Amino acid sequence: MNIQLYKPRNLILQNFIEYFYILTKGAEEEAITYLTFPNIYSMVSINQNALIKTRGNKVTVDYSADNILVSGLAVRYKQPLLIEYTGAANEITICFKPLGLNAFLKLPISNYAKNDTLENDFLPFADFLHEMKSIILMQNDDEKIAAMEAYWISKLKGVSHPFLYQALNDMFLPNNKEMTIAEIALKNKISQKTLIKHFEQHIGKTPSDFRKIVRFRNALKQKAQDNTEDKLTDITYISRYFDQSHMIKDFKALTGYSPKAFFKKLSSIYDGKINWIFLGGG
């Protein structure tokens, strides 16, 4: 299996898209199985010649000779997803920043992401399937990315919200200034109920789930930036956990592993942007 990651070249798209990656796997390669973990981003994946089956938290991508194109959206999942590629694969995934995908959609993201694992029929525009099929069949990866960027720019309508951008900024304040959910709601002159409702509608997660994932991803980023054997106590406080027991509880909820076991098994590439645990095959 081969993965190539690309940052958006278009300066406008950089405000909404974190990265693209192209995943390819030959028919002769053995099956690949890995765990991927909850993210603050919205992930749109387009697969060529694929038959995708979802059962619980397991997603199987089988090869199909019928030239089927499948487009999926993953936003709401709060537990690990077990991904298995059983045959040849050709995939493009777009990673949208929080609220980023909303800048292109006519409706709030909750209208498209109703499943807690993966939506396999994400078709946001009338021409989406046709254009994605044309792009994914291109032989040159640079041309694919250029065409993908041109397509999303053509769909950009912008996004604004009376308080969510400020609420997100408040969640990323430095450690010593971290605000509670109640404080964020109060600062924005809304109730916690209203804050929760709008997070679920436009981001696909509750504020508490989003913050839990932010802490988890901060821990991954800290580990990726320093390959030395950092003490878990250091990562605990840098990543805004209250203490080690808090970190262990959240890690087990989000990954199924303790932090020590998780980091031992983790495969991290592209400076920690992609973090998977491989369970079999390649």
CATH number (domain holding residue 219): 1.10.10.60
Q: What is the pLDDT of residue 282?
A: 43
> Is 275 domain-assigned?
no
- Residues 186, 242 within the same domain: yes
- Residues 136, 47 within the same domain: yes
Question: Furthest-apart CA pair in the chain: how many Å?
Answer: 58
Which helix or strand (DSSP H or E) is residue 86 part of? none
Q: What is the pLDDT of residue 238?
A: 82
Q: Does the pTM exceed 0.75?
A: yes
Q: What is the pLDDT of residue 143?
A: 97
**Cα(195)–Cα(207) distance, integer angstroms:** 8
Residues pairing with 24 in the sheet: 2, 90
- Residues 194, 63 within the same domain: no
Q: What is the pLDDT of residue 174?
A: 61
> Is 56 domain-assigned?
yes
- Residues 235, 116 within the same domain: no
Q: How far from the centroid of its chain's Cα atoms is residue 63's Cα?
A: 23
Task: Yes or no: say if 219 and 212 are a contact pair by the CB < 8 Å rule.
Answer: no
Q: What is the DSSP letter of 121?
A: B
- Residues 86, 190 within the same domain: no
- Residues 135, 196 within the same domain: no
> Is 133 domain-assigned?
yes
Q: What is the pLDDT of residue 229?
A: 54
Tell me which of 103, 131, 158 is where a domain ends.
Answer: 158
- Residues 142, 239 within the same domain: no
- Residues 152, 170 within the same domain: no
The beta-strand segments (E) located in the chain are: 2-6, 17-25, 32-36, 42-48, 50-55, 58-63, 69-74, 81-85, 89-96, 267-269, 274-280
Q: What is the pLDDT of residue 242?
A: 86
Taking alpha carbons only, the member of 16, 7, 151 closest to residue 71 is 151
**Exposed e or buried b per residue across 112-151, where buried means at least 16 C-beta atoms within 10 angstroms of its C-beta:** bbebebbbbebebeeebeebbeebbeeeeeeebbbbbbeb
- Residues 22, 128 within the same domain: yes
Domain that holds residue 119: 2-158
> Is 24 domain-assigned?
yes
- Count up the domains in the chain and report the number: 2
> How far is CA 172 from each of CA 6, 215, 217, 241, rounded to the nearest angstrom?
25, 10, 12, 14
Tell me which of 139, 158, 177 is where a domain ends.
Answer: 158
> Is 267 domain-assigned?
no
Task: Yes or no: say if 163 and 198 are a contact pair by the CB < 8 Å rule.
Answer: yes
* C-alpha angle 55-127-89 in degrees, rounded to nearest 5: 45
Tell me which of 115, 132, 158 is where a domain ends.
Answer: 158
Q: What is the pLDDT along the chain (282 residues), one digit of tens a residue?
A: 999 999 999 999 999 999 999 999 999 999 999 999 999 999 999 999 999 999 989 999 999 988 789 999 999 999 999 999 999 999 999 999 999 999 999 999 999 988 787 878 899 999 999 999 999 999 999 999 999 999 999 999 999 999 999 999 988 876 556 789 999 999 999 999 999 999 999 999 999 999 999 999 989 988 877 654 557 888 888 888 888 999 999 999 999 999 999 999 999 999 888 999 999 644
**Cα(125)–Cα(131) distance, integer angstroms:** 10
- Residues 189, 237 within the same domain: yes
**Cα(4)–Cα(195) distance, integer angstroms:** 37
- Residues 189, 147 within the same domain: no
- Residues 19, 150 within the same domain: yes
**Cα(276)–Cα(229) distance, integer angstroms:** 19
